[in-house]
Structure 1
Amino acid sequence: MRTRTGRLPRPGTGAAGRWGGALAAAVLLLAAAAAPVAAEGSRTEFTIADPRITESSGLAASLRHPGVYWTHNDSDDGPYVYAVDSTGRTVATVTLRGVKPRDAEAISLGPDGSLYLADIGDNLDGSWSEVWLYRFAEPADLHDQTVDATRYRVRYEDGPRNAEALMIHPVTGRAYIASKNERTGGLYQGPETLTASGVNTFHRIADVPWITDGAFSPDGTRLVLRGYFLAESYRWKDGAPQRIGALDVPFQRQGESVTFAPDGRSLLYGSEGRNSTVVRVPLSGDRLPDSAAAQTSATPTPSAPGGGPASGTPAAAPATPAGKAGSSRGTGILVAVGVVALLALVFRRRRSS
């Protein structure tokens, strides 16, 4: 989340701008002062080594190319999408022909194998009358290439706003955008089918937290939304989110992206910055997508004589109740609470001035 000059948004340009600016400042201060907090069971999956990728703002796991992830820079780059493998090496650079992104913030994979690049950022508090989505086929071969993309014009039913999250449902193909103008963001639903010949109006269907990215599970039964320090899990039912509860999220330099692993059993969190790391965090209990949970329950557990677990086989952990974190986050929770308190204080003072 940066301006076209590469600087963090300037505070003091309207209530939403003050909120976003205060958050950006808090992020930098806490990142400098606090040690990283690891989510339970997490591990660094890879480090993005490409010196061109300094503001990785979106992440999408390829289904066509196992172990490959698509990413892109935030702004001040160009019409480029990068394929990065599980070692952090860039294996392909895709250039979108004739496209001049203004503030690309997210990338998502559709059920037909198309990638969607979301040029939806608006750090000037909703100054753009419309934003754009660019759709192109995921390349069959991984090498540097230039491709044609279909452009979709997007407007929100209640006026312009800033956003950083695009989620394409993996079953229906419907597009969803989560905004971040307000203290409480909004989840917006696009038309059943996007049109390239006119304007696509997105309608608000739910309130969601202030977030930087989101992703559907591969089977479409779970939605995850992340911010800098917090992440939420939702059950997706009848075209709407039902909140399950908080998720473990790693403490990162500037947490900007999230995607499900292809098997749905873990999340991968990304960050902006040079040599940024992508961290894998396993899922369990209600946070597991339905298909992954069904596979888990169908897997027989080795039994010892008498019916108990075999020696050396750990007993299954109980499912986490909805609405509660999957595990203790210790310092991570304290950091998050501190951020919320600081933002609330700044916002109240700005509102009263």
Structure 2
Amino acid sequence: MRRPFAVRAGALLGGVLFSGAFAQLTGPAAIPASAADGDKGFTIEDPRITESSGLAASRLHPGVYWTHNDSDDGPYLYAVDSATGKTVARIALAGVGTPRDVEAISIGPGNEIWVGDIGDNLGGTWKYVWIYRLPEPKKLVDQTVKATQYVVKYSDGPRDAESLLVHPRTGRVYIIDKKEDGGHLYEGPAKLSVSGANVFRPIAAVDLWATDAAFSPDGSRIAVRGYFGGISYAWNGGKIEREGRLDVPLQRQGESVSYSADGTRIMYGSEGAGSSVAAEDAPEGASSGSKSPSGGGSSSASGDDGGSAATGGVKVGALAVVAVCAVFFGLRRLRRRG
């Protein structure tokens, strides 16, 4: 659900930072695809992928990233070769209903793909959402794969969410809800059931308006991103501890995040036709995710999601670009869905 973001970001930032926006709009283009190493960043070339909302690095097929559209496509997943940006397979999910708002994708133990149909375009009013699980195909060709569908409810009522995480070792499923002033990490049952609803319960606060999150390949930390920034957390068995800010790049509409398969890079995806996936070095220690002093005291959504004082000059122009683009894409989505 991005319409509130477009309206608020545009109103707050558009007029104040217009001059910075003009300077940024005439600046360098997005990171190009690298034929030698896709983990340096790439551009999604498939014209069918116009609203890439989730991203997950395949462990079965090196250099391949799985993605999907938001809510206007169907039960499809796309395998994208990061060396070329081209789709090498489209998977149709069988055995599930019509998706409503697919927002996230994750790879669990045994190379199983988990898909989160967890967005709520009605503002957190759907009584339940869905999660789909399917085996990752061993051969990357267009095909139909049977998936298992799970019904999900929250212990404290309906909510919007765009972040689905599956622990790479335990296989336990987690969701982070999407709230401007920060959300919560929700833990699912140890084993999901196909009969009845699976109740997810909040276990920790998250200091971000989260649009996606991902486990590191060893399960020791999670990366949580928002529109303008991100945070690295040590996992600690679900008792997450903040390590520092992530160096999230400027993007048209930042939606997705994934660790590379080897855990050395964090990949950041965005929506829109021909959208870019940018790469940054993954944090190696408790403080390496932050390039500026973190300071003491409690965090706020605006402080954590808006960049640091050390890079304030760059961030001002960056925020302006995001504001202008947000208004454009938000209005386009309103016209299309109205």
Partner of 1:22: 8
Paired residue type of 2:8: A
Partner of 2:49: 53
SS of residue paired to 2:125: coil
Percent same amino acid among aligned pairs? 53
1:91 maps onto 2:88 in alignment: yes
Of structures 1 and 2, the one with the larger relative CO (CA 8 A, separation 6+) is 2
* Cα-to-partner distance string for 1:239-285 (whole Å, 9 max, x where unaligned): 22110010101100001000001111110000000111111101244
Paired residue type of 2:57: A
Paired residue type of 1:77: D
Deviation at 1:205, TM superposition (A): 1.0
Aligned mates of 1:43, 1:64 — CA distance in 2: 16
Change (3 A) 1:331 1:55: farther
SS of residue paired to 2:240: strand
SS of residue paired to 1:116: strand
Map 1:158-237 → 2, pairs under 5 A: 158-208=156-206, 209-237=208-236
Map 1:1-353 → 2, pairs under 5 A: 1=1, 8-9=2-3, 11=4, 21-23=7-9, 33=22, 34-35=24-25, 45-86=41-82, 87-99=84-96, 100-208=98-206, 209-286=208-285, 323=294, 328-334=310-316
Contact 2:244 2:289 (C-alpha < 8 Å) held by counterparts? no
Change (3 A) 1:210 1:237: same
Paired residue type of 1:113: N
SS of residue paired to 1:238: helix
Change (3 A) 1:331 1:137: farther
Partner of 1:306: none
Deviation at 1:217, TM superposition (A): 0.1
**Cα RMSD over matched residues?**
3.3
* Cα-to-partner distance string for 1:48-89 (whole Å, 9 max, x where unaligned): 000000000000000000000000001110000000001101
Contact 1:229 1:332 (C-alpha < 8 Å) held by counterparts? no
Paired residue type of 1:66: P
Aligned mates of 1:335, 1:190 — CA distance in 2: 40
Deviation at 1:98, TM superposition (A): 4.2
Which 5+ residue runs of structure 2 have no aligned equivalent?
32-37, 296-306, 322-338
Paired residue type of 1:251: L
**Which entry has the higher C-alpha Rg, 1 or 2?**
1
Per the normalisation by structure 1, the TM-score is 0.75
Deviation at 1:318, TM superposition (A): 12
Per the normalisation by structure 2, the TM-score is 0.79
Aligned residue pairs total 297
Aligned mates of 1:65, 1:25 — CA distance in 2: 43
Paired residue type of 1:73: N
